[in-house]
Amino acid sequence: MDGQLQTLINLQAIDTRIAALEADAARLPKEIAAIHAGVEEARKQVEQTRARLDAARKDQRAKEKDLEVVQAKRTKNEARLYEVKTNKEYSAVLIEIEDIKQEKARMEEEVLVFMEAQERLTGEIRETEARFKQRESQGRSEEATLKEQLRGIETDLAAVRTERKELAAKLPANILGDYDRILRARAGLALVPVAKPNFCGACRVTITPQRLQELRAQSSLLPCESCGRYLYWPS
């Protein structure tokens, strides 16, 4: 096999490796960001539940103050029973007192609802805090693993890029230029073997018999007549 062709085959293998490493290097920071987002979401759930608990406590305090007002009103009306002069006035005060009793009962029921809500929310806070702590701990472990992987990938990339530079220096400028142009235009694949019996290894177009003979001889670099990638006959 021609020396330049073998160099190009090796270069394509390196470029494929670089593309895979670069994809991983781009993916891992997104995965780390997703971990941060998951931990933050768990933290927000704790804060939201705490806010709901604070609101329930505030509502209860407000209702209890209203209840105190109603109780004072009832006490005042009960005192009036000893001051009225007629049966009609007495009956009217009794009706007011009964209305106040019913209002007080409704308010007491509402206070109980707020108390039950607080009890439920207190339990939810314990659960959400436990989930947050678990997610935070898990996130730290996962992030450390991903960062370690990323450091390894960056180290590998530096080494492979150096290897590529050294290998590319062995090719004539015009051949390397054409190769790089095709590489960019064809999604990182500039050189492919013939897929037996007679297909382009990338675009799968049938190769003509004459071109197959030329590829078997491989006296020069030959492009696919369809996709333009360089072809070679696999050994």
- The CATH number for 74's domain is 1.10.287.1490
Q: Do 150 and 190 lie in a common domain?
A: no
Per-residue pLDDT tens over the stretch 61-105: 999 999 999 999 999 989 988 888 898 999 998 999 999 999 999
Q: Are residues 167 and 188 in the same domain?
A: no
Q: Residue 178 carries which side chain, given as an amino acid letter?
A: D
Q: What is the mean pLDDT of residues 136-145?
A: 97
DSSP-derived secondary structure letter, 171 = S
The verdict on 178 and 155 lying in the same domain is no
Task: Provide the 3-class DSSP secondary structure of residue 195.
Answer: strand
Please report, as a single letter, which amino acid is at residue 115.
M
Q: What pLDDT score was predicted for residue 221?
A: 86
- Global confidence as pTM: 0.74
pLDDT at 34: 97
Are 55 and 70 in a shared domain?
Answer: yes
Q: Are residues 56 and 108 in the same domain?
A: yes
Q: For 162-181, how does the pLDDT look when each residue is reduced to its tens digit (9 = 90+)?
A: 999 999 999 999 999 999 99
Where among 171, 186, 215 does a domain terminate?
A: 171
Note the pLDDT tens digit of each residue in 13-49. 999 999 999 999 999 999 999 999 999 999 999 999 9
List, in order, residues 6 or more apart from 75 with CB less than 8 Å away. none
Contact 174, 14 (CB under 8 A): no
pLDDT at residue 1 is higher than 70: no
179/166 same-domain check: no
Most confident by average pLDDT, 57-71, 146-160, 201-215: 146-160
Domain housing 179: 172-235
Domain count, the chain: 2
